[in-house]
Chains A and B, each alone.
Chain A
Amino acid sequence: MTYILKKIATLIITLFLVSVLAFLAFQIIPGDVVTSILGTEATPEREDALRAELGLDKPPVERYINWATGVLRGDFGKSYRYSKNMNEMMPVADLIGDKLPVTLWLALLSLILTILISIPLGVLWAGTKNKFFDGILNVLTQGSMAVPAFFLGILVTYLFGIIFKAFIPGSYVGYKDDFPGFISYMIFPAIAIAIPKTGMTARFLRNSTLTELKSDYVRTAKSKGVTDGHILFKHVLRNAMLPVVTFLGMIIAEVVAGSIVVEQVFALPGIGRLLISAISTRDFPVVEILILYITMVVIIVYFIVDIIYRILDPRIRVE
């Protein structure tokens, strides 16, 4: 219990540090925000008014406190680039709101695909004595890791979209309008993200299973006359899966990063595309929030994985 409390404390401190960094980083960059919004033609009065409206006339510490308390209350600030009703600046929360589920669904689908395929594959691979099967899997998994996510996305589009005509590229429908249609479109970008992760996880599981198969308890079980299948599923897998849990935690962080790129390939309106366009147009309030958000997801996932690991492995609990 004290362990979990300690972990939660570090979690909060890390999040605080990240928020300071995410905020400060965008304060030191060269160039005046007000000039970049209004253009060089604006009158000094208009510039001062906007500066006051954005709170840029206050000292950095006060600005950080205003920003951070705003974030905690759910007020994420306003975008420099997007406007609402022509004159008002668009709140960042409104921008992110309907884009977030798209990215989360994409990450979730890719993760499910990865787990569903890689775990049986890894176990079969470790259990097989067939040289040919082993060789094929070796080449396939090694190859899958060498293909960048966006090229895989393009290959998936070409193969499933243009040759097999399983979906129409660019025919994305919103999850609110047509949920089954949304999922059946999202499956394809999810495949593009899942392929390299499946290769990695299957390799990892195979190696950890093979290491376990060499251990003493397996030899003992064998000499007692326990069948190979029983040893693999009842004894070895329970131990071999442990490192895979940590590995999958890392994969989640990669999947989130992968979706940023793959969203671009499939023209999905997720937070990845928003982040890229915000970076290109130097829309810093949006970038700050997205960075903070993605970091938060990554840190919390690591935290959860850590806790699950302790639950699964009683050896760690005894210290």
Chain B
Amino acid sequence: MINSVFRTKDGKLNTYLVIGASMAAVVIILSVLSIFWTPYSPTAMSAAQRFKAPTFAHIFGTDNFGRDIFSRVMKAIGTSFLISVFVVLISGTAGILIGSVTGYFGGIIDTVVMRVVDAINGFPSILLALVVISLLGKGRANVVLALAIAFTPSFVRIVRGEFIRLRDADYIIRARLMGAKKTRILFLHILPNIFSTFWVSVTIGFNNAILAESGLSYLGIGVQAPDATLGSMLSDAQGYLGTAPWYALAPGLTIVWMVLSAAMLSEGISRRKKGVR
């Protein structure tokens, strides 16, 4: 069963999916683990332990307050992961609701919604998030809301496209002739068939959510201190680049790791769909 998930239709191993899933597994395990346990307290300071290069005791070294960087990175992965999950969950659900109705029914609502979606889509998402945050204020919940608003249009576009493609498929016309209710057609007949495409955009959304969240917290307008986030750690670390380069490398490479795992997963899923290697 598990074996078949990681193989394509012609039986070859889907390398992208395997690598992506293993990288994502590390992220998920660390973020769940960070709720209960970190090697050291992420906020415990120690004057004697300042700027220690990576050793076995502190595998990512220590920062300017002598805090263990690995513990802080673990906490930060948890925060970043949780925010990204909520962002994708909210914008994905909104995308399905809006995209299914506009795509299936079309008409004037569709035209208006698509105009708005196009307008927002052309706009860099981090800027949009900045505007929303300047209206709502900083903080964890507002970051989620801002990014969810910024990402919804791309989900709407993809879901709508799939609903337009499927709304006149033979089996839908049959279902309609048999007198199936509209909600039944939308959510029981069409929705399950768009998921293969939808998962690809979910992973891409994840990818962008991680980048945008860390960007906002780097700029100091995301999640606020004392919570460690990858972006705020990088912005702190920047001042000590000459004395403690590992301080910047640890959160930076963690972001790269998280983004790559999402990118690999999306490539793997789309290859699985197409049935090529």
| Distance of A293 from chain B, by nearest CB (Å) | 11
Q: Are B256 and A276 in contact (CB under 8 A)?
A: no
Q: Are B127 and A151 in contact (CB under 8 A)?
A: no
Q: Are B131 and A291 in contact (CB under 8 A)?
A: yes
Q: Are A14 and B248 in contact (CB under 8 A)?
A: no
- Stretch among B49-57, B68-76, B234-242 lining the A interface: B234-242
A154-B238 contact in complex given A29-B135, A279-B130, C-beta closer than 8 Å: yes
- List 5 A-B residue pairs with CB atoms under 8 Å apart, sorted by A's residue number: A143-B260, A147-B252, A161-B241, A256-B124, A261-B126
CA distance A96 to B231 in the complex (A): 27
**Is the C-beta of A282 less than 8 angstroms from some C-beta in chain B?**
yes
B131 — which chain A residues lie within 8 A by C-beta? 25, 287, 291
CA distance A282 to B135 in the complex (A): 9
Q: Which of A149, A158, A291, A302 contacts B122 (CB 8 A)?
A: A302
A151-B234 contact in complex given A25-B131, A146-B263, A298-B122, C-beta closer than 8 Å: yes
Q: Are B260 and A148 in contact (CB under 8 A)?
A: no
**Is the C-beta of A186 less than 8 angstroms from some C-beta in chain B?**
no
Q: Are B124 and A265 in contact (CB under 8 A)?
A: no
Closest to B252 in A: A151
Closest to B262 in A: A146
**Is the C-beta of B169 less than 8 angstroms from some C-beta in chain A?**
no
B241 — which chain A residues lie within 8 A by C-beta? 154, 157-158, 161-162, 169
How many chain B residues touch A (Cβ–Cβ < 8 Å)? 34
B221 — which chain A residues lie within 8 A by C-beta? 276, 279-280
**Is the C-beta of A257 less than 8 angstroms from some C-beta in chain B?**
yes
B208-228 Cβ-contact flags toward A at 8 Å (1 or 0): 000100110011110000000
**Is the C-beta of B36 less than 8 angstroms from some C-beta in chain A?**
no
A158-B248 contact in complex given A148-B215, A148-B255, A265-B238, C-beta closer than 8 Å: yes
Q: Are B234 and A154 in contact (CB under 8 A)?
A: yes
**Is the C-beta of A207 less than 8 angstroms from some C-beta in chain B?**
no
**Is the C-beta of A228 less than 8 angstroms from some C-beta in chain B?**
no
Q: Are B218 and A276 in contact (CB under 8 A)?
A: no
CA distance A256 to B125 in the complex (A): 12
Tell which of B131, B221, B238, B252 has the most Cβ of chain A within 10 Å.
Answer: B131
Q: Which of A151, A257, A275, A302 contacts B256 (CB 8 A)?
A: A151
Q: Which residues of chain A in 284-305 are interfacial with respect to chain B, using CB atoms and an 8 Å cutoff?
A: 284, 287, 291, 294-295, 298-299, 302
CA distance A148 to B237 in the complex (A): 16
Interface of A is mostly: helix
Closest to B124 in A: A257
| Distance of B189 from chain A, by nearest CB (Å) | 33
CA distance A144 to B127 in the complex (A): 22
Q: Are A298 and B135 in contact (CB under 8 A)?
A: no
Other 15 A-B pairs with CB < 8 A, given A151-B255, A275-B130: A25-B131, A142-B263, A147-B256, A148-B214, A148-B218, A148-B256, A150-B235, A151-B248, A151-B256, A157-B238, A250-B122, A261-B218, A276-B219, A279-B133, A295-B123
**Is the C-beta of A94 less than 8 angstroms from some C-beta in chain B?**
no
A19-54 Cβ-contact flags toward B at 8 Å (1 or 0): 000000110010000000000000000000000000
**Is the C-beta of B134 less than 8 angstroms from some C-beta in chain A?**
yes
Q: Are A158 and B234 in contact (CB under 8 A)?
A: no
| Distance of B208 from chain A, by nearest CB (Å) | 11
**Is the C-beta of B108 less than 8 angstroms from some C-beta in chain A?**
no
| Distance of A279 from chain B, by nearest CB (Å) | 4
**Is the C-beta of B245 less than 8 angstroms from some C-beta in chain A?**
yes
B234 — which chain A residues lie within 8 A by C-beta? 150-151, 154
| Distance of B263 from chain A, by nearest CB (Å) | 6
| Distance of A91 from chain B, by nearest CB (Å) | 20
**Is the C-beta of B119 less than 8 angstroms from some C-beta in chain A?**
yes
Closest to B123 in A: A298
CA distance A149 to B214 in the complex (A): 11
| Distance of B237 from chain A, by nearest CB (Å) | 8
A145-181 Cβ-contact flags toward B at 8 Å (1 or 0): 1111111001101100110000001000000000000
| Distance of A97 from chain B, by nearest CB (Å) | 21
Q: Which residues of chain A in 240-265 are interfacial with respect to chain B, using CB atoms and an 8 Å cutoff?
A: 250, 253-254, 256-257, 260-261, 264-265
